[in-house]
Structure 1
Amino acid sequence: MTKTLVGPQLRQLRRVHKHTQAEMARHLGVSPAYVNLLENNQRSMSVKILLGLTEAYGVDWRKLVNDQDVTQLAELRATVRDPAFSGETPDLQELRAALDHAPRLVAQFMELHQNYRAMLDSLQRMDAKGASADLLVASPESAIHDFFRSHSNHFAELENAADAAREAIGGQSDDLYSNLKRHLSHAFGISVEVVSLDRMPDSLRIFDREAKKVLLSEAFDPINRNFQLAHVLALASCGSLLDALIASAGSLTDAGKARCRIELANYFAAALLMPYGRFLDLAESTAYDIDRITATFSVSFEMACHRLTTLQRRGAQGVPFFFLRIDRAGNVTKRFNATTFLLAEQGGACPVWNIHSAFARPGVIIPQFVELPDAGQYFTISRTTDRPVTSRHTQDRKLVVALGCEREHADRVGYAAPLIGDGAGSVARIGINCHICPRHACAQRAHEPLHVNLPLNANRRGTTRYES
């Protein structure tokens, strides 16, 4: 019989609740010395202790024993809560039984639902000419998003490679650009040059592998120059690792493989600029104060938000966040997810979500509690992020970054403090997109949903032209 050793997870659980070993011992009905032995993996978990953790701390004991089981259960739970399904939603006991006794059937059911989501997304992209041959094929962006999400947006191999690279680079953190240039030159023979906009008007960074040269646009500020060199270092030093990870992503198109390589190299760059342990400690100690984080690590707001979604190392987890970036038209230009929040490709299109009002208040962090049609509630913050300016014609081309977590984690995030306790009235009821949102009587509805018939009555005018 396999021993259940979960010391790091138990220690993290205790720290999240700010309990001493003595306080946890009282909750579990054991001695402090026994808790210490459990945390140091010198004793295995008994069924009694696991059930005690469930009762005292509200955690699912399966989460402590098997992370993969929890991921599958969360995915299945989110799927059956899709408004496309009518009737009573199966409870957790039924879902666990399905996973335990019919795993292949569950896998096929999940695949069917993913194809359904892909079809809805594709229908929204159809033009007046009708369907194309690849109508039902998921986009490369969707496939890569699902690949990252299947890893909880955390890649231990890239974290280790980034830590090793940071150690090899050496030097002081406040001189990272010079240190990166020196390391690329000494270790890989790669030179770095900052060039004028006249010389490189249509590109921000070019890595010429044959010439072993990196050209950076002068439009980049020092923060982005560091990130771009760290990205190039990933391409130069981790080629085999990137290949292996891309191969594990399944069948991707050539464009999908290229995009996946870019995102994985970006992950490495963020891990190098913001080492996991120091980053997590600062995030937790400051209640996820992003301004403090950006100042400490000399990174941008967007970089810090993106990095926050990756804090899912076993035994050292941060708040599980999702990340979304949109343009002024509501198009999603980047998305990452370590939560159960289902982000469609057009997920920033709901006008009820204050992600859009952030454009009117540049540089200001705007907090909000939101609720999806499946009743899942989340805390989000939204703020503008600037793009490199290459001419007077590219001024004010801002994007908005949104960062969010499930409501149960909101008390760990300082930005939520003013909103906690305001009651249900402070929760904005949003949807992913009007085309697939089943909400009735939404004053902001712009389209009739594809899969729900809204009531129409010629004798009554509702809040929108789509229902009465």
Structure 2
Amino acid sequence: MTKTLIGPQLRQLRLSQNHTQAEMARRLGVSPAYVNLLENNQRSVSVKVLIALNESYGVDIRQLVNDGATSRLAELRTRVKDPSFTGPQPDLTELRAALDHAPKLVSYFLQLHQNHQLVLDAVRKLSAAGVAADIHQVRPETAIHNFFRDHANHFPMLETAAETSRAAIDGPPEDLYAGLKSYLRRAFGIDVEVCALEDMDGSLRVFDEARGRVQLSEALDPINRNFQLAHVLGLVSASETLADLVEGAEIVAETGRERCRVELANYFAAALLMPYEAVFRLAEDSHYDIDRIATRFGVSFEQVSHRLTTLQRKGALGVPFFFLRIDRAGNVTKRFNATPFTLAEEGGSCPVWNIHTAFAAPGVIIPQLVELPDAGQFFTVTRTTNRPVISRHTQARRLAVTLGCERAHANRIGYAAPFNLDDVHEIARIGISCHICPRLDCGQRAYEPLHVNLPIDVNRRGSTRYQS
């Protein structure tokens, strides 16, 4: 069984009460030496002591033992790799000591670094706009992305709700459309009809809850019709769960709250179409063959890629992936993340990354090993995905999707088999955006970075005008 260590929390509790170790020991019915051992994480806390803490200090035991120390350590390790810091990095022992003995200072440091990142993001946006403007608040999309990332892009309550609904529908994937229609009518009094394009006013799906009707555009293919019906089922069958999760997201703007509700309903839909245990087993058995998984569940390449980012259930952990979708101009249209990888929020991501070259090879999966400026290394696979073509005016409406993981997990992925993962020459050195990339020797640099002074030698011309 896992030991429960609560040293930093116990110390903070004692100090907040102005108690000595002897006074706390008296209240808990243990020796001062034992309190000292607990505070230094040299003993795991017993159930008896936890109960005594609750009775003597009125603390919530769940909050006391659920400190997220592992995730906080991982976050701290990531933050100290920021290229803004110079000199040797603190080792793991130092970081653990900081968490044990100065948890508030660590929290301040992490908050300061987050503010630093927000400033960089704001400067990048202002620079991309080309005009002066006030630094604006974090957009709802950013808040939603951070909310999903804080949950490792995994929501057990929605998984359970989706499994319950899928069991009620029953039937194989090839009959799912009929099953969804029947279940919506039987359980919720909702009828489904497919409507002509000109009757939909540009919409792909309209749900009129008051009239109990879902209208689907004929532009939707069977795969996306299933997804839209599953989305509606999530809205009506898991409405309380969605409301609780949105409330927990603490998003201020009403439009942001509604957008978060939409994304959570999309999560439900994916979980219904690709049940966790089944998709996890097939992913592991096929070495994350995306097309193989899509064939089994009757879904799209993009839907599988998105679903793979959510496989973070304890006891059945999939590879932690990030997911990114861009258009031809480089605009980010969707992003989800269960890794330390920093995803660009807008356009202008690194041209060294082959996510952009995928448009030159439609439908072909392009793998790549990449390294960020902080030395974090990742394996990515990229492929184009097509939007519905409904007339001659909507041809070639392609997007590119990328799925990526830390290099340490690449041996679990079949697409990485041709790579020599130990060969440094296989790794493409990328950045997030030229505006904030500190690389000094990149032949693709388009702008001078805003926070790093590049050395200039008038007697030497490098591969770009910013490189001497």
Instruction: Give the TM-score category using the shorter length.
Output: 0.7 to 0.9
**Identity over aligned pairs, percent:** 63
Contact 2:181 2:192 in 1 (8 A): yes
Tell me which amino acid in the other structure corresponds to 2:2.
Answer: T
**How far did residue 97 of structure 1 move?**
1.6
In structure 1, C-alpha distance between the alignment counterparts of 2:394 and 2:67, rounded to whole Å: 45
Q: Deviations over 1:420-457 (max 9, x none)?
A: 24611110000011111000111100111111000112
Contact 1:373 1:430 in 2 (8 A): yes
Tell me which amino acid in the other structure corresponds to 1:354.
Answer: N
- 1:42 corresponds to: none
2:322 pairs with 1:327: no
- 2:2 corresponds to: 4
Contact 1:321 1:339 in 2 (8 A): yes
Q: Deviations over 1:365-389 (max 9, x none)?
A: 0001000111111100000011112
Partner-residue secondary structure (3-state), 2:68: helix
**How far did residue 291 of structure 1 move?**
1.0
**How far did residue 118 of structure 1 move?**
1.7
- 2:133 corresponds to: 131
- 1:173 corresponds to: 173
Tell me which amino acid in the other structure corresponds to 2:208.
Answer: D
Tell me which amino acid in the other structure corresponds to 1:173.
Answer: P
In structure 2, C-alpha distance between the alignment counterparts of 1:411 and 1:67, rounded to whole Å: 31
In structure 1, C-alpha distance between the alignment counterparts of 2:188 and 2:3, rounded to whole Å: 43
TM-score, normalised relative to structure 1? 0.84
In structure 2, C-alpha distance between the alignment counterparts of 1:71 and 1:329, rounded to whole Å: 35
Tell me which amino acid in the other structure corresponds to 1:131.
Answer: A
In structure 2, C-alpha distance between the alignment counterparts of 1:5 and 1:459, rounded to whole Å: 62
Moved more, 90-99 or 210-219: 90-99
In structure 1, C-alpha distance between the alignment counterparts of 2:330 and 2:114, rounded to whole Å: 23
In structure 2, C-alpha distance between the alignment counterparts of 1:124 and 1:111, rounded to whole Å: 20
- 1:37 corresponds to: none
Contact 1:350 1:433 in 2 (8 A): yes
In structure 1, C-alpha distance between the alignment counterparts of 2:328 and 2:172, rounded to whole Å: 39
Tell me which amino acid in the other structure corresponds to 1:95.
Answer: L
**How far did residue 101 of structure 1 move?**
2.0
Tell me which amino acid in the other structure corresponds to 1:214.
Answer: V
In structure 2, C-alpha distance between the alignment counterparts of 1:76 and 1:258, rounded to whole Å: 32
In structure 2, C-alpha distance between the alignment counterparts of 1:183 and 1:248, rounded to whole Å: 30
Q: Deviations over 1:176-216 (max 9, x none)?
A: 00110111111111111111111114111111112111111
In structure 1, C-alpha distance between the alignment counterparts of 2:242 and 2:381, rounded to whole Å: 32
Partner-residue secondary structure (3-state), 2:244: helix
2:101 pairs with 1:101: yes
Partner-residue secondary structure (3-state), 1:447: coil
- 2:243 corresponds to: 243
Tell me which amino acid in the other structure corresponds to 2:195.
Answer: V
Go from structure 1 to structure 2 and tell me whether the alpha carbon gap of 1:372 and 1:448 turns closer, same or farther (over 3 Å shift).
Answer: same
Partner-residue secondary structure (3-state), 1:446: coil
In structure 1, C-alpha distance between the alignment counterparts of 2:108 and 2:133, rounded to whole Å: 26
In structure 1, C-alpha distance between the alignment counterparts of 2:121 and 2:97, rounded to whole Å: 31
2:271 pairs with 1:271: yes
In structure 2, C-alpha distance between the alignment counterparts of 1:284 and 1:447, rounded to whole Å: 42
Moved more, 138-147 or 111-120: 111-120
**After the TM superposition, which residues 42-191 of structure 1 pair with which residues of structure 2 at under 5 Å, given as runs?**
68-126=68-126, 127-132=129-134, 135-191=135-191
Partner-residue secondary structure (3-state), 2:138: coil
TM-score, normalised relative to structure 2? 0.84
- 1:308 corresponds to: 308
Q: Deviations over 1:101-146 (max 9, x none)?
A: 22222222222222221222222222344123xx241111111111
Aligned length: 408
In structure 1, C-alpha distance between the alignment counterparts of 2:172 and 2:376, rounded to whole Å: 45
Contact 2:140 2:251 in 1 (8 A): no
Larger Rg: 2
Gaps of 5+ in 1: 7-45, 48-64
**How far did residue 172 of structure 1 move?**
2.9
Go from structure 1 to structure 2 and tell me whether the alpha carbon gap of 1:143 and 1:187 turns closer, same or farther (over 3 Å shift).
Answer: same
**How far did residue 70 of structure 1 move?**
2.1
In structure 2, C-alpha distance between the alignment counterparts of 1:108 and 1:5, rounded to whole Å: 28
In structure 2, C-alpha distance between the alignment counterparts of 1:129 and 1:449, rounded to whole Å: 17
- 2:28 corresponds to: none
Q: Deviations over 1:276-313 (max 9, x none)?
A: 00100000001111111000000000000000000100
Partner-residue secondary structure (3-state), 2:458: coil
Tell me which amino acid in the other structure corresponds to 1:90.
Answer: P
Contact 1:365 1:382 in 2 (8 A): yes
Partner-residue secondary structure (3-state), 1:198: helix
Go from structure 1 to structure 2 and tell me whether the alpha carbon gap of 1:370 and 1:72 turns closer, same or farther (over 3 Å shift).
Answer: same
**How far did residue 96 of structure 1 move?**
1.5
Q: Deviations over 1:372-414 (max 9, x none)?
A: 1111111000000111123211111111000011111101000
In structure 2, C-alpha distance between the alignment counterparts of 1:208 and 1:259, rounded to whole Å: 18
In structure 2, C-alpha distance between the alignment counterparts of 1:91 and 1:453, rounded to whole Å: 28
Partner-residue secondary structure (3-state), 2:72: helix
2:460 pairs with 1:460: yes
- 1:222 corresponds to: 222
